[in-house]
Structure 1
Amino acid sequence: MTKLLFLEPVFKERLWGGTKLRDTFGYEIPSERTGECWAISAHPHGTSIVRNGPFSGTSLHRLWNEHPGLFGHPKEDAFPLLTKILDANMDLSVQVHPDDAYAHRHENGELGKTECWYVLDCKKDAELILGHRAQTREDFVQLIERNEWDHLLRRIPIKPGDFFYVPSGTLHALCEGTLVLEIQQSSDATYRLYDYDRTDGNGNKRELHLQKAIDVTDIPHTDENVKSTKHQIGDALITTLAETPFFSVYQWDVSGKASFPAPGRYLLASVMKGRGELDGCPIHKGDHFIVPADSGDFVIEGDCEVIVSHPSSP
């Protein structure tokens, strides 16, 4: 039987957070401004804890270091990916992430941060910021200095089910009324460029990282061409959302029963809708788990949507 590793999420309060993590998934959140669920994480800023089986109570960080066989004896020193759910109850700051080389030099060896978003829900006429219109770095700096944000930033309308690939160097921001699943490199390196001049309860603005953001932003912006493909396995429609140098992401829409061959690698899985069973183990909306690398063939059945990812091969 496939021994799934179910994980307890870590929640983060944010200025822009809300209550959708509780309202949508039934999570016990710490406050009415809960913005992030770190669902599958071994990052030191918030590591998930195994909640079942012989490793119950063990952090994912420790499991990675002490039981590498579960992960196929990986070559990476640290667990490479991080799965989050983000509740953007207000606009997030406009930000950009460094690549591996820049982060290693400037952020104490941290990984860079390439990520992707799967839109779970959003308000009517919702949008997000992805990219900019500057053609040269000089234009980019001048538009920032003039506070011409409407001219600089590209806004894109969104709807539930949309998928966006956001490589390091891409200027971006989620906007009000958006709930997304995010899969990213395991990094917390973020450079804030613009925060709408907001202040906290003490009248203080949040820190900006202007020079670092200017250093790492790709100019001019180019959209990544990530095409999805679909194939059927039994009663499961498998959509490949992205295959990138850092991770691959899939959407499993299960409406019955499907038999999968042994994956040959560990898988990160998040149940976004419905319920079912994987090799007889119940899975429900809001569950996050890892399928270990040494798992054999398995069967999934039920009526559910699961977002699955794995690191790209070295």
Structure 2
Amino acid sequence: MQQPVFLEPVFQERIWGGTALRDRFGYSIPSEHTGECWAISAHPHGQSTVREGPYQGLTLGELWEKHRELFGDFPGETFPLLTKILDANADLSVQVHPDDDYARIHEEGEQGKTECWYIIDCREGAELIFGHHAGTKQELKEMIDQGRWSDLLRRIKIRPGDFLYVPSGTVHALCAGTLVLETQQSSDTTYRVYDYDRTDDRGNNRELHIDKALDVITVPHCPINPDQTIRRHDGLEVTTFVNSDYFTVYRWKLDGNAAVKQDHPFTLVSVIDGEAELKTEAGLFPCRKGDHMIWPSDLRTFQLEGRAEFILSHP
């Protein structure tokens, strides 16, 4: 094949969503409250489909099931990762995700959810909720029961280009005015802790999951700050953000030409700015802002030319 597999994303409407996915990337979104672009997804709650080429129209799940050779015969029943772009036009609920063991027991075999965020853009002075100030489980429960959210929740300032690693068990929330690319385990399990007493269009509060959240929240909060490395060759600057048990995530900044070698069974790729041309023996493939693709196992060496910024990941 020796060519990228371009994917069509799936969009999810959310109470906190907006129009940034349209305004920034030119996507055709379903409403003015579109919160999530599931860009590279084989999760049953929203599957990407192949945009063009010999596998056009197949879902990523079908591609994984029927053509595992494209993924270097990587093991596993389900595609392991999910790439999203999130438009937080309003604050997201304060939430936490379980690990694999807890999710397997309590969520009908679902995977846990460790994730990470690359801040594509945000308002000046923007912040996130990341962690908490409770010292013990008992203190955590008391602060939640008493609604002492300003005392409990840890807030941090962010800027475009920041990267945060969010392991399962971490209390977190994106705040208004933030556009984020999220790389995560392929899971849709979220436990809401606090939702600012908001109601939906029918006047109902969204469901909270306090008991399960208390089971899985890591106490005390122990932030993990992975060591980042930068290397350069040709016209390419490669920043490695994290190398974890679940995924490795990079940012590539291309300015000119670069000869590229892929050393992994497959790679998930999102173009978040600019445009470039990928050249292989199979032809030339334009890669533009807003494109998402998988570089399959037989795409070992190729050329990139242009000015673009990519976020890449692999399991």
Same fold (TM over 0.5): yes
Contact 1:274 1:284 in 2 (8 A): yes
**Whole-angstrom distance in 2 between the partners of 1:36 and 1:145:** 31
CA distance in structure 1 between the partners assigned to 2:173 and 2:294 by the alignment = 29
Deviation of the 1:133 alpha carbon: 0.3
For structure 2, the residue ranges without an aligned partner over 5 or more in a row are none
2:69 alignment partner AA: G
CA contact (8 A) 1:260 1:298 kept: yes
Q: Distance in 2 between matches of 1:164 and 1:87?
A: 16
Query: Residues 155-304 of structure 1 correspond to what in structure 2 (within 5 A)?
Result: 155-279=155-279, 280-304=284-308
SS in 2 for 1:211: helix
Counting only pairs closer than 5 Å after superposition, residues 2-13 of structure 1 correspond to structure 2 as 2-13=2-13
Question: What's the secondary structure of 2:54's corresponding residue?
Answer: helix
| Equivalent residues of 2:74, 2:265 under 8 A apart | no
Do the aligned residues in 2 keep the contact of 1:236 with 1:253 (CA within 8 Å)? yes
Give the secondary-structure state (helix, strand or coil) at the position aligned to 1:277: strand
Partner of 1:54, secondary structure, is coil
* Secondary structure, counterpart of 2:208 in structure 1: coil
Shift in Å, 1:17:
0.2
1:223-262, Cα deviation, whole Å (9 max, x unpaired): 1021110001211000001111100001000000011124
CA drift of 1:40 comes to: 0.1
**1:18 equivalenced with 2:18 (yes/no):** yes
- 1:278 shift after superposition: 1.1
Q: CA deviation at 1:32?
A: 0.1
Give deviations 1:127-180, integer Å, cap 9, x for gaps.
Answer: 000000000000000001111000000000001000000000000000000000
Match status 1:122 vs 2:114: no
Please, what is the CA RMSD of the aligned residues? Answer: 0.8
CA contact (8 A) 1:93 1:196 kept: yes
Cα deviation for residue 26 of structure 1 reads 0.2
Which piece of structure 1 moves more, 63-72 or 290-299? 290-299
| Alignment size in residue pairs | 311
**Which whole-Å CA distance do the structure 2 matches of 1:200 and 1:295 have between them?**
46
Separation in structure 2 between the aligned mates of residue 145 and residue 102 of structure 1, nearest angstrom = 23
Q: Which residue is 2:154 aligned to? A: 154
Render the CA deviation track for 1:49-70: whole Å, top value 9, x for unaligned. 0011010000000000000000
| Residue deviations 1:156-207 (CA, integer Å, cap 9, x gap) | 0001000000000000000000000000000001000000000112210000
Secondary structure at the counterpart of residue 53 of structure 1: coil
* Inter-partner Cα distance in structure 2 for 1:96 and 1:209: 10
Per mean C-alpha deviation after superposition, the further-off stretch among 255-264 and 31-40 is: 255-264
- The equivalent residue for 2:63 is 63
CA-CA distance at 1:19 after TM superposition: 0.2
Q: TM-score by structure 1 length?
A: 0.98
| 2:311 counterpart (304, 307, 314) | 307
Q: Residue 290 of structure 1 aligns to a residue in which SS?
A: strand
Q: What displacement does 1:208 show? A: 0.3
In 2, are the aligned partners of 1:264 and 1:294 still within 8 Å (CA)? no
Question: 2:88: which partner in 1?
Answer: 88
Whether the 8 Å CA contact 1:233–1:260 is kept in 2: the answer is no
CA deviations 1:47-103 (Å, max 9, x no partner) are: 000011010000000000000000011111100000000000000000000000000
Q: Distance in 2 between matches of 1:129 and 1:232?
A: 33
Contact kept in structure 1, 2:116 and 2:166, CA below 8 Å? yes
Q: CA deviation at 1:264?
A: 3.7
Structure 1 window deviating more from structure 2 (43-52 vs 294-303): it is 294-303
Identity of aligned residues (%): 58
